Amino acid sequence: MLEAADTGQFVFVSAKLEDSDPDKSRVFSHRVHLNDPIGIQYGVNPYNCSHCHKSFYVESNLKIHLKTHGRKKSYSCSQCQKSFSFKYILNQHMRTHTGEKPYSCNQCQKSYSIESDLKQHMRTHTGENPYSCDHCQKTFSLKRILKVHLRTHTGEKPYSCNHCQKSFSVQYSFILHLRTHTGEKPYSCSHCQKSFSYRTSLERHLRTHTGEKTYSCDYCQKLFSDESNQKRHMKIHTGLHLRTHTGEKPYSCNHCQKSFAYRKGLERHLRTHTGEKTYSCDHCQKSFSEKNHLNLHMRTHTGEIPSAATQLLPEITLH
């Protein structure tokens, strides 16, 4: 067990060595400089930048960072108005114009313009999650995702709306919320003059042109392009309601002993065996086995509910 007390440039670290015999347990303590590996591991950032909010474990790292504030941006892009302090950053930026992606994944067909993006992508294949939450057992593949997750513990919401009292922990949720005030509708229909604030709204509208019907009745094979029409139709199957009283469950799982009153209930249950997640979020990488789970998750982007509420989703099963 490690404990620490911060005193200036040093951290006093105490280590207790436990023993089955309480009389043999010992406590040792020693002073560690913040620049030493143990001081760094303890997570103290004593060196703060006077120009921004960044802080650093080691003074030399702060000195390097300070150069980014005072350094002249002498490397200019020939394609646009941007300029940069370092040539290698300009080289990376130029790839946004040329489309060059020299860093390719050896596991799939994806390629990237920046090497660090490839390294992050490789974790989707290896399953590596090097960033751990100090408050719970969750781990993450990217540091920025951990940073956002930590706000579910601290309650921090750094993105505030200047039109109302709402604030948000995720920047993208904040951007989506602003559209309720500005009226911005960046998603336009290619078939007519209508435009929409959200991509999902455009996709739902496009079905009125394509005739695509993705919502099926739980009790029959009828298909619908809109979820509200599906739910309205399902009300005609009132006879099936009797099964809630008789207890009849004609749909049985071939993997376990469970049975269900409705075919759709069995289909949902089967996904707990196959791991299939057919409902994907348009705004992030998450996918869900249940449509209503996706709908609940989507509200974390609009700001209707906090993202912490969706932590319960994996524990929900519907029969």
Q: In whole angstroms, what separates CA 46 from the centre of its chain? A: 30
CATH of the domain at 96: 3.30.160.60
> d(Cα 109, Cα 103) in Å, to the nearest integer?
11
* Whether residues 63 and 80 fall in one domain: no
CA atoms within 13 A on the CB side of 142: 13
**Residues 89, 134: Cα–Cα separation, whole Å:** 33
Judge whether 214 lies within some domain.
no
Cα–Cα distance for residue pair 19/24, rounded to 1 Å: 6
Query: 82 and 32: one domain?
Result: no
Length of the chain: 319
Domain C-terminal end among 70, 86, 120: 70
63: left (phi over 0), alpha (psi -120 to 50) or beta: alpha
Among candidate residues 12, 37, 70, the one where a domain is terminated: 70
pLDDT digits (tens, 9 = 90+) for 173-225: 888 899 889 999 989 999 998 999 888 888 888 888 888 888 888 777 788 88
CA distance 113 to 98: 10
* Model confidence pTM above 0.85: no
pLDDT score for 303? 64
- 33-87: pLDDT as tens digits: 444 443 444 444 567 888 777 777 677 778 777 777 766 777 899 988 888 888 8
- Same domain membership, residue 150 and residue 80: yes
Domain that holds residue 31: 2-70
Residues paired with residue 48 on neighbouring β-strands, in sequence order: 55
